[in-house]
């Protein structure tokens, strides 16, 4: 059955927009990039020229007024995600929003309410969920081939120097919503949560060790899951040897992933427990050359739209991750263990990720 070729637009033509334009080009049989929008007109024009985009707009309002589009890719800084996504929903247009989808759990719930009213959808970009290794791991775990999940570790140790934080929206609660927990480790622990399912409790610390920023530059959490799995999660932007690493210890095998900003199938290793070498064989047999980039998620988004379903990652799935972030900060800043469902709408940690305030002294950032 043939499906429509979706008309799309990218809003925000800065750093990450090229990954979206390339992914759209990879799927040019399924979607066309009809227009780009940026508040910086020269940047938008240069981007449009580089990627052969026919139309340029100075605001989302103008785009939604003048251009019939099916899907908007929001590639703007985090504080603008919720207001711009709301505008799309009010116009009945589905929106694919870069991470972090919102600055707070409250904003996410507002979007969910607006999506229910509008009939259009909000999907979050979590491209690492869609690499071949992640798809295979979830399928094998679901089919019971790995046995029970016992233990997991999830590490995002990256390095961002002081100059990185010169970009005005970075390193501030009001504009980035958090530090490496919100902005960097989010990809890795979102993948962890997508594999292990609902988390139950979080006990965490967060600290500002080296950068002159408002937010944390490191955080660590101990997590328990509904299926009994225990896990640790580390997030950092002060680690000179950088890595993104996940390890899942199942009864029948250890499954590991080590990469930096995107993975191939070769970045995964499987070590079978004695008597379970079939798991290694099974993994090897379905090896592919696929990577974990934006194109993988776009394929899943178009499949869902073709089927008339909400595109992934849905707001319900995203909520698990955003609630986890709020719980991590709540635990770190109050010293308490935080349970899933504990952060209600009136919690300060639902309103803003720094909730009741950080334990470190405020700095004059700039
Ligand atoms: N998925 C990933 O792997 C990944 C990687 C990097 C960044 N990101 C996310 O992508 C988003 C953008 O990051 P970036 O590094 O590209 O930022 P950037 O600052 O390089 O680019 C943002 C662009 O948005 C434009 N803009 C700002 N407000 C706007 C508005 N209201 N309307 C239209 N344009 C507007 C700016 O002029 C700028 O050109 C962030 O949320 C970031 O966390 C995701």
Residue 286 corresponds to which tokens in the numbers above? 């379905």
pLDDT-derived band of residue 288, with 50, 70 and 90 as boundaries? Answer: confident
pLDDT band at 286 (very low <50, low <70, confident <90, very high): confident
Q: How far is the CA of 239 from the centre of ligand 1 (A)?
A: 24
Superfamily of domain 6-125+295-313: NAD(P)-binding Rossmann-like Domain (3.40.50.720)
**Tokens of residue 43, six digits:** 């940047």
Name which residue sits closest to atom 39 of ligand 1, judged by CA.
14
For residue 3, name the pLDDT band (cuts at 50, 70, 90): confident
Contacts of 5 (CB under 8 A, 6+ apart): 29, 30, 31, 32
Calpha distance 183→256 (Å, rounded): 23
User: Do 127 and 231 form a contact (C-beta atoms < 8 A)?
Assistant: no
C-alpha to C-alpha distances, 301 to 45, 125, 202, 251, nearest whole angstrom: 27, 10, 31, 33
Question: Which pLDDT score is estimated for 108?
Answer: 98
**Ligand 1 center to 138 CA (angstroms):** 30
177 vs 25, 89, 154, 156, 313, CA distance in Å?
Answer: 31, 22, 21, 18, 20
Q: How far apart are CA 252 and CA 235, in angstroms?
A: 28
199-207: strand order across its sheet: 268-272, 253-259, 238-250, 149-159, 230-236, 218-225, 199-207, 338-339
Say what the pTM is: 0.97
* 244-262 pLDDT tens trace: 999 999 999 999 999 999 9
Tell me, what's the pLDDT at 364? 56
pLDDT digits (tens, 9 = 90+) for 124-171: 999 999 999 999 999 999 999 999 999 999 999 999 999 999 999 999
Asked if the domains at 6-125+295-313 and 128-290+321-351 fall in one CATH topology, the answer is no
Class assignment of domain 128-290+321-351? alpha beta
Q: Report residue 340 as tokens.
A: 């899933």
The CA distances from residue 319 to 13, 21, 331, 358, in Å, are 27, 27, 18, 23
Q: How far is the CA of 77 from the centre of ligand 1 (A)?
A: 4
Our mutation pick for probing the ligand 1 site, out of 23, 72, 77, counting the most ligand atoms within 8 A of Cβ, is 77
Q: How confident is the model over 296-329, as pLDDT tens digits?
A: 999 999 999 999 999 999 999 999 999 999 999 9
Residue boundaries of the structural domains of the chain = 6-125+295-313, 128-290+321-351
Distance CA 74, CA 84 (A): 8
- pLDDT, residue 365, reads 56
Q: Residues lining ligand 1, judged by CB closer than 6 Å?
A: 11-16, 37-40, 43, 60, 75-78, 80, 98-99, 125, 127, 167, 183
């Amino acid at each position: 059955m043939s499906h429509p070729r979706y008309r799309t637009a990218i809003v925000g033509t800065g750093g990450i927009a090229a990954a979206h334009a390339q992914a759209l080009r990879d799927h040019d049989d399924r979607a066309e990039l009809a227009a780009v929008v940026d508040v910086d007109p020269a940047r938008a024009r240069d981007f449009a020229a580089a990627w052969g985009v026919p139309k340029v707009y100075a605001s989302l309002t103008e785009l939604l007024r003048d251009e019939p589009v099916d899907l908007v890719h929001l590639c703007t800084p985090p504080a603008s995600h919720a207001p711009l996504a709301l505008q799309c929903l009010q116009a009945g247009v589905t929106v694919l929003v870069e991470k972090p989808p919102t600055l707070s759990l409250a904003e996410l719930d507002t979007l969910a309410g607006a999506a229910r009213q509008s009939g259009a959808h909000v999907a979050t970009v979590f491209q690492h969920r869609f690499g071949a290794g992640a798809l295979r791991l979830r399928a094998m775990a679901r089919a019971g081939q790995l046995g029970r999940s016992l233990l997991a570790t999830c590490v995002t140790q990256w390095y961002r120097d002081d100059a990185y934080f010169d970009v005005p929206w970075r390193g501030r609660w009001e504009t980035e919503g958090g530090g490496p927990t919100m902005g960097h480790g989010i990809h890795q622990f979102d993948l962890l949560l997508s594999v292990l399912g609902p988390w139950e409790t979080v006990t965490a610390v967060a600290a500002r060790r080296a950068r002159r920023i408002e937010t944390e530059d490191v955080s660590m959490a101990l997590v328990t899951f509904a299926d009994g799995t225990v896990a640790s999660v580390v997030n950092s932007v002060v680690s000179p040897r950088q890595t993104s690493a996940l390890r899942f210890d199942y009864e029948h095998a250890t499954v590991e992933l080590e990469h930096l900003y995107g993975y191939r199938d070769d970045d995964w290793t499987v070590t079978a427990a004695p008597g379970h070498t079939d798991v290694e064989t099974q993994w090897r047999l379905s090896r592919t050359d696929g990577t974990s980039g934006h194109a993988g998620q776009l394929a899943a988004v178009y499949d869902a739209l073709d089927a008339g379903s909400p595109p992934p990652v849905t707001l319900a799935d995203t909520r698990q991750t955003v609630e986890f972030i709020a719980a991590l900060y709540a635990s770190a800043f109050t010293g308490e263990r935080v349970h899933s469902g504990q952060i209600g709408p009136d919690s300060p940690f639902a309103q803003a990720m720094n909730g009741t305030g950080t334990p470190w002294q405020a700095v004059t950032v700039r």
